[in-house]
Amino acid sequence: MKIRLMRPSDLDAVVALVVARQADPVHHIGYLDAEPQAVASQLATLEPDGIGGHLVAVEEADDGALLGFLGLDWDNEPPRVWWHGPVIADVNQWDVVADALYVAGLARLPATVTEQELFHDARSGLLAGFAARHGFTREPGSAVLERSLTDIPSVPVAEDVSIAPLAPTDRQAIATLHDTTFPGAHVPGHRLSAGERRRVLVARRGTTVIGYVAVERQLDDEGYIDFLAVTAAQRGAGIGAALVAAALGWCRERGCTGVHLTVREQNGTARALYDRLDFIETMIAIPWRTGTTMAGH
Ligand X SMILES: CC(C)(COP(=O)(O)OP(=O)(O)OC[C@H]1O[C@@H](n2cnc3c(N)ncnc32)[C@H](O)[C@@H]1OP(=O)(O)O)[C@@H](O)C(=O)NCCC(=O)NCCS
User: Which residues lie near ligand X (CB under 6 A)?
Assistant: 181, 227-230, 235-241, 263, 267, 269-270, 272-273, 297
User: Least distance (Å) from ligand X to the CB of residue 78?
Assistant: 18
Type of residue found at 53: G
- Backbone torsions φ then ψ of 52, nearest 5 degrees: -70, -5
Q: Decide whether 46 or 239 has the Cβ nearer to ligand X.
A: 239
Q: In Å, how far from its chain's centre is CA 297? A: 11
Q: What whole-number distance in Å separates Cα of residue 127 and Cα of residue 176?
A: 35
Q: What whole-number distance in Å separates Cα of residue 7 and Cα of residue 94?
A: 22
Q: What whole-number distance in Å separates Cα of residue 160 and Cα of residue 207?
A: 9
By the 8 A CB rule, do 24 and 76 touch? no
Q: What whole-number distance in Å separates Cα of residue 58 and Cα of residue 85?
A: 15
Q: Decide whether 89 or 209 has the Cβ nearer to ligand X.
A: 209
Stretch (H or E) spanning 271: helix 268-276
Q: Decide whether 43 or 270 has the Cβ nearer to ligand X.
A: 270
Chain position whose Cβ is nearest to ligand X? 240
Q: Decide whether 71 or 211 has the Cβ nearer to ligand X.
A: 211
User: Least distance (Å) from ligand X to the CB of residue 21?
Assistant: 28
User: Least distance (Å) from ligand X to the CB of residue 244?
Assistant: 8
Q: What whole-number distance in Å separates Cα of residue 140 and Cα of residue 284?
A: 10
Q: Decide whether 96 or 173 has the Cβ nearer to ligand X.
A: 173
Q: What whole-number distance in Å separates Cα of residue 212 and Cα of residue 156?
A: 16
User: Least distance (Å) from ligand X to the CB of residue 274?
Assistant: 8
User: Least distance (Å) from ligand X to the CB of residue 105?
Assistant: 29
Q: Decide whether 45 or 162 has the Cβ nearer to ligand X.
A: 162
By the 8 A CB rule, do 271 and 263 touch? yes
DSSP lists the bridge partners of residue 69 as: 56, 87
User: Least distance (Å) from ligand X to the CB of residue 39?
Assistant: 25
